Structure 1
Amino acid sequence: MTLFKQLLVNPNGRDFVVGDIHGHLSRLEKVLDYHQFKPESDRLIAVGDLINRGTDSLNTLRLLSEPWFFSVAGNHERMISQYRQALTRRQLTADERQKMVSIGAQWLLDAYDALNEDKWADLITEIMNLITQMPLMIQVGNGPEAVGVIHAELPDWDWSRSVTRLERIKKVKFWDQPRDEPSIESLLWGNAQFQSLRNGEQNDRHISGIAWVIQGHSVSNIPRRAGNRLWIDTGADESQSAHGLSIAELGPQLTVTTHFRDLRIRTERFNLTPQPRFHSVLMS
């Protein structure tokens, strides 16, 4: 098993990619209802950071058990896995507990403190089993229309080379190690490309070997595009009305809808070369 997952084109329904959820399951459910998501035929692929900060991290993570849900790992899943031994043995240090609080993992600490040994063992085993099944790259489809999904940014400007690099690392080995492999660290933590975009640099550069790369991690109040890269973490966890949860429907063009905290809904349609068009509506 490797850290790369290939999904064939969905012949029966639609495919969506959603931004960082961060435990806000009820918001995700409302977004899926709006788009009339059908779990019997449609699929949802997440850009990682399913957990922490929100009110229902555990049940958000449990979506990984659903046949219609897929996700790459984000840095928040990785941080939890890095404390795997201390959590399993209930041997967190004061510094480690503080780190867990700082990343929004109080939901896990509450269970750590409250459950008896058997229930805690069952819970932490379930959580780690779910996290360690997550890949770091997902590809939907093949050929010139294929779409890649990652959390942060690629270690290489070539999709195929990044896949090859990733496939050299066994999934079990990666999740068992407390430290990241330097050659792929950017997949979980990188934001240099996003910062270049914000600075007005590299706006037209493309990732070769893939039609689109959709990613999260770097928060913006609207989806941001550079070449064939699209960032869709619009701050589902942020309390400001200018932030929300974004979801992209895959197709000949990407249709990206941001559901803001103030109930506005903004839809953008992205082609590979023209600039996106958008409109906004206010939901009552």
Structure 2
Amino acid sequence: MTTYAIGDLHGCLTPLHRLLDHLAFDPNADTLWFVGDLVNRGPDSLNVLRFVRSLGDSAISVLGNHDLHLLAVAHGIRKNSGKDTLQEILDAPDRDELLHWLAARPLMHVDKALGHTLVHAGIHPHWTLQNAQKLSAELHLTLTRELEDFLSYMYGNTPDQWSKKLSPKKRRRFAINAFTRMRYCRSDGSLELDFNGAPARAPESLLPWYALPDRKSLPTTLIFGHWSSHPSLCRPGVIPTDRGCAWGGDLAAYAIETATSHWVSGQA
């Protein structure tokens, strides 16, 4: 029995099937953890959603920024951009069931027995694990009960600094940005959401979110995606999984129990 954490799919179904064949995945024994961004930019977002949903309890997926973008487009909050590949989902006969399922995905998944936590982008360096779990639960409840209202104020880069005194709407916007968009922080912990390059090319004023000197110590190993330009190796306790499948890179899986990485070409 193995738990595999799989990087951003972005609608790449053929590489996913190839990866699962490589892993000899058994849905009756193994579990898949998806780091989010199931959809968009790749060629088959509709069938990726259908497939992951069909796995039932054999799969856990957290929300990514592209998944949230799909929900915003479906609710008329955002428009399809020229790079989006979402129309097939929006036109599908099972659209409502798929979108309802997607909106019910959590922002993070903590497995104390395995000692690992799954999240799309990261956990803000000034949060404890308990803080992050509380905020994730708040966002999950908001997405399931007040989806359209939340989507209407979700977008924006401010506030960029965490504070317990933030109003509910500002708190939720900051939290959704940290969970699904964050790559870099400044030394004071404020978010920098525009630069997306590799750490080796980052301005001196920016640090990867996991590298702030005063980052809270977390009793768990973090698995994240979102960052296709990030090298495949990181530091102890932090495991990146996004290898840019939709942009000609690889699709990777990390086997938690054996601490081994596996990958296949992202080419369709």
Q: TM-score range by the shorter chain?
A: 0.7 to 0.9
> 8 Å contact 2:224–2:241 — kept in the other structure?
yes
1:166-221 CA distances to partner (integer Å, 9 max, x unpaired)?
A: 22341424633213222312111111168684449565867633331010111137
SS in structure 1 opposite 2:32?
Answer: strand
> 8 Å contact 1:222–1:232 — kept in the other structure?
no
SS in structure 2 opposite 1:224?
Answer: coil
SS in structure 2 opposite 1:163?
Answer: helix
Query: How is 1:1-284 mapped onto 2 (pairs within 5 angstroms)?
Result: 13-62=1-50, 63-67=52-56, 68-86=58-76, 96-97=79-80, 99=81, 101-108=82-89, 111=91, 122-142=93-113, 145-155=114-124, 156-169=126-139, 170=141, 171-173=143-145, 175-176=147-148, 177-178=150-151, 179-180=153-154, 181-184=172-175, 185-192=177-184, 197-198=199-200, 199=202, 201=207, 203=211, 208-220=217-229, 222-239=231-248, 243-251=249-257, 254-261=259-266
Look up the equivalent residue of 2:240 and give its one-letter code. W
Q: Could you list the runs of 4 or more consecutive aligned residues of structure 1 that deviate by over 6 angstroms after TM superposition?
A: none
Look up the equivalent residue of 1:228 and give its one-letter code. G
Q: What CA distance in whole angstroms lies between the structure 2 residues aligned with 1:228 and 1:191?
A: 16
The CA deviation at 1:37 is 0.9
- Determine which structure has the larger strand proportion and give its number: 1
Gaps of 5+ in 1: 1-12, 87-91, 112-119, 263-284
SS in structure 2 opposite 1:83?
Answer: helix
Taking structure 1 as the reference length, the TM-score comes to 0.70
The CA deviation at 1:104 is 3.0
> 8 Å contact 2:5–2:255 — kept in the other structure?
yes
Gaps of 5+ in 2: 155-171, 186-195
1:72-114 CA distances to partner (integer Å, 9 max, x unpaired)?
A: 011111001112333xxxxx9xx824x2x323324346x3xxx
Q: What CA distance in whole angstroms lies between the structure 1 residues aligned with 2:53 and 2:216?
A: 28
| Segment of structure 1 superposing worse, 225-234 or 174-183 | 174-183
The CA deviation at 1:227 is 4.0
Q: 1:195 to 1:154 in 2, by over 3 A?
A: farther
> Which structure is richer in relative contact order (CA contacts within 8 A, separation 6 or more)?
2
| Segment of structure 1 superposing worse, 202-211 or 182-191 | 202-211
Q: What CA distance in whole angstroms lies between the structure 2 residues aligned with 1:207 and 1:233?
A: 24
CA RMSD of superposed structures (Å): 2.8
Identity %, equivalent residues:
22
> 8 Å contact 1:221–1:244 — kept in the other structure?
no
Look up the equivalent residue of 1:183 and give its one-letter code. F
Q: What CA distance in whole angstroms lies between the structure 2 residues aligned with 1:195 and 1:221?
A: 8
> 8 Å contact 1:47–1:151 — kept in the other structure?
yes
| Segment of structure 1 superposing worse, 151-160 or 24-33 | 151-160
SS in structure 2 opposite 1:257?
Answer: strand
> 8 Å contact 1:221–1:235 — kept in the other structure?
no
When the two structures are aligned, how many residues end up with a matched partner?
226
2:168 corresponds to: none
SS in structure 2 opposite 1:54?
Answer: coil
SS in structure 1 opposite 2:69?
Answer: helix
